[in-house]
Amino acid sequence: MEKIAIIGGGVSGSYLAYLLSNSGYDVTLFDIKEKYFKPCGDVVPNIYKPKFEWKIKYYIKNFAFYLDGERIYDVSYRNPKWIVIDKSGWINSMRKNVNQVISTNVDKSKFDLIIDAKGPYDMDRQVVYTTRALIETNEFSDEAVLEFNTKFTGFFWIFPDEEGVLNVGAGFIENKNSKDILLNYIKNKFKDYKILDLRGAPISIGGVKSKSLKIGEARGLVFPMSGEGIRPSAISAEIAYEAITKGRNFDEYLSYNLTKIERRIEIQRRLLDVYMRSNINARKFLLKIFLRNDVLIDAFLEDKLDFEGILESARGIKYGSIIR
């Protein structure tokens, strides 16, 4: 049986290591830390469930969109559109069940297959530097807020994390100092709050130079307009597991089975590029059209901004997925 090394214990690396170990494979997971923690919004579209169940902390049905401080669109769904998960708890639960080495130095001679799941940390692609704060506040709301500023490419977010606690974050391509921007935003947005945790992390928005033997964010599997990478990373781990257990060519199998996701990621990159090349007036015009369109917002919330996904959203709205 093959000896397999997986470098990087995030979503895709830990999930693949767990799936393979649970099936009797000789797997070693390499990471610089014994336990996983990477701050993000911790939200996933409610259209996917992993084979190793995660804890759901909150269901989100209500959304509001702001542009330059003005609330321009809100929507409520009959069923939860997003879920808030305990991502770190999920990953660390899987890591308890696999052989780990606290290092990223792999002796290649000892392994038959080495898979890269290091996330964005090779810095071989464009990234956006984000900061997220968990705040305790009596101004808690079950509404997910996305707030855009036409001076920058990116957005602020406010997501319910658990009762009384909000996940508030920011990430803008043009400004790497997202911490100061976020702290100022929180100060202006809330009257009474306590910061429980404040951390930053890079998130991929650009393509990678090589996808060979890579999964998850190491492969560039993050939707650049929303920043959502949990679901595509988990899916890539499941596909990698199938490739290995079925004895298929790893890279060919992943490329074929990730076609739809990678196409949708590329569409978002192109839309983001158009936005970045536009002046402020054009940005405001484009965003107002986008953010006031029920179908486009629905497709955006599930990261399916291609023809197939937009048609799917249109059908769902036609048959009553939206309350308002």
Please report which confidence band the pLDDT of residue 228 belongs to, taking 50, 70 and 90 as the band edges: very high
Give the pLDDT score at 1: 61
Structure tokens at 65: 């969109």
pTM for the whole thing? 0.96
Task: Give the strand pairing for 113-116 and 3-7.
Answer: parallel
**Tokens read off for 177:** 């100092």
Q: Token digits for 41? A: 């919004």
- What letter would DSSP give residue 120? T
Question: 29 φ, ψ to 5°?
Answer: -100, 125
pLDDT at 2: 85
CATH class name, domain 4-323: alpha beta
- What value, to the nearest 5°, has the Cα angle with vertex 78 and ends 71 and 262? 75
Closest residue by Cα to residue 172 from 206, 131, 135, 134: 131
Residue 175 DSSP one-character state = B
Is the distance from CB of 157 to CB of 144 less than 8 angstroms? yes
Q: What is the pLDDT of residues 238-260, one digit of tens each?
A: 999 999 999 999 999 999 999 99
Cα dist from 141 to 62, 136, 192, whole Å: 10, 11, 14
Does residue 21 have a pLDDT over 80?
yes
Residue with tokens 């920058």: 152
Mean pLDDT of the chain: 95
